[in-house]
């Protein structure tokens, strides 16, 4: 029982972490504003998705199971949402919600949030509700609306990258669903959490990939108190923790899906959790070593930057003296 509780806890943390990965994207958002935004617009749908398996896998009623219709509904919803987001967000001026400050839009979001909240509390407290069908229908239009308003005013990328962006955006829903389904349908729950692998391309492009201006780790080279433009250390730390928690959840799901006949010291490997944390530590260590030290140099050309001369000097100087000294040698 405690292993299931631990798995639920890991998936819940991953759902929160994956959603926080988005509220910290805007650079002009303060910590308090990011937390308030998450509480208002991210937490209610996540809570509903966590409670949704109670409705979806209920077998106490004589009616046919809604599982098949739910699979069709959410499959179509995910495909349509992904296509619409990829088309609307690939060019920033196509995004109808890039300036989402209107009162009608806010009212729509508040009504949807209230539906999610009431439906979730009804399922968690009474284990029955008349709202889950409506909330389940709203989850995909709401996800599209939230993604278009959260991606940034000048967000623009290729259609394939926009597709992976949306897939990364809906991964918190997969983790939340996995957390809620562990007790009733563990295999489905672990498969849902393992599907979090679709975050890999977008997380790599936006967080792990090195750029001429550095990456999430090299922000620690710049004292945030001296340069206000680098006052992002809190968000940088949160991003690193968010990625780590997502890796833990995905690795845990992979371990849980291993065949029971695979044993280690007499205990099935699928019942152990420490391998997931071991994989995460290796991943974070590799990410840190590749991002910060040592800087990889090949001859007179910096292969990672694709810049000769200046790129080598920039990376070498930061690694030895800190970015602040580079900006202000005196």
Of 33 and 328, the structure prediction assigns the larger pLDDT to: 33
Q: For residue 328, is pLDDT > 60? A: no
Cα 309 to chain centroid, rounded: 37
At 189, is the pLDDT very low, low, confident or very high (cuts 50, 70, 90)? very high
Sign of the Cα torsion 42, 25, 170, 291 reads negative
If DSSP codes are grouped into helix, strand and coil, which group holds residue 214?
A: strand
First to last CA, the chain: 61
How far apart CA 114 and CA 120 sit, in angstroms, is 10
**49-53, 140-144, 215-219, 273-277, range with the lowest pLDDT:** 215-219
CB within 8 Å of 172: residues ≥ 6 apart: 14, 15, 16, 18, 19, 42, 46
> Element (H or E) spanning 213, and its range?
none
Mean pLDDT of 121-140: 84
Q: What is the pLDDT of residue 222?
A: 62
In 3D, which of 216, 279, 272 has the Cα closest to residue 246? 279
C-beta neighbour count of 95 within 10 angstroms: 21
Mean pLDDT of 137-146: 92
How far apart CA 325 and CA 122 sit, in angstroms, is 57
**46-60, 189-203, 270-284, 305-319, range with the lowest pLDDT:** 305-319
Do 304 and 211 form a contact (C-beta atoms < 8 A)?
A: no
Q: For residue 80, is pLDDT > 90? A: yes
Give the β-pairing of 301-302 and 307-308: antiparallel
Mean pLDDT, the chain, integer: 79
Mean pLDDT of 200-221: 76
Q: For residue 170, is pLDDT > 90? A: yes
């Amino acid at each position: 029982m405690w292993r299931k509780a631990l798995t639920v806890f890991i998936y819940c943390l991953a759902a929160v972490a994956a959603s926080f990965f988005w509220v910290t994207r805007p650079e002009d958002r303060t910590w308090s504003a990011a937390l308030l935004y998450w509480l208002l617009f991210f937490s209610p749908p996540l809570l509903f998705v966590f409670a949704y398996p109670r409705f979806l896998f209920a077998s106490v009623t004589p009616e046919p199971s809604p599982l098949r219709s739910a699979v069709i509904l959410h499959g179509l919803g995910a495909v349509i949402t992904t296509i619409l987001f990829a088309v609307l967000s690939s060019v920033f001026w196509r995004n109808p919600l890039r300036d989402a400050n209107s009162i009608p839009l806010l009212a729509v979001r508040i009504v949807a949030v209230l539906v999610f909240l009431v439906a979730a509390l009804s399922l968690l407290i009474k284990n029955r509700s008349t709202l889950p069908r409506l909330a389940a229908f709203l989850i995909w239009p709401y996800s599209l609306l939230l993604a278009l308003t959260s991606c940034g005013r000048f967000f623009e990328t290729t259609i394939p990258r926009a597709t992976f962006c949306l897939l990364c955006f809906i991964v918190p829903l997969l983790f939340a669903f996995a957390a809620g389904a562990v007790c009733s349908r563990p295999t489905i729950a672990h498969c849902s959490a393992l599907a979090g692998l679709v975050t890999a391309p977008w997380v790599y492009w936006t967080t792990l990939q090195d750029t001429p201006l550095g990456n999430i780790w090299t922000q620690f080279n710049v004292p945030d108190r001296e340069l206000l433009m680098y006052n992002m250390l809190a968000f940088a730390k949160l991003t690193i923790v968010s990625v780590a928690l997502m890796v833990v959840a995905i690795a845990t799901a992979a371990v849980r899906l291993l065949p029971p006949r695979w044993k280690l010291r007499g205990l099935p490997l699928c019942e152990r959790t420490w391998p997931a944390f071991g994989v995460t530590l290796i991943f974070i260590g590799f990410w840190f070593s590749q991002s910060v030290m040592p800087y990889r140099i090949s001859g007179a050309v910096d292969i990672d930057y694709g810049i000769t001369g200046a790129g080598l000097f920039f990376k070498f100087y930061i690694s030895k003296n800190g970015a602040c000294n580079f900006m202000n040698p005196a």
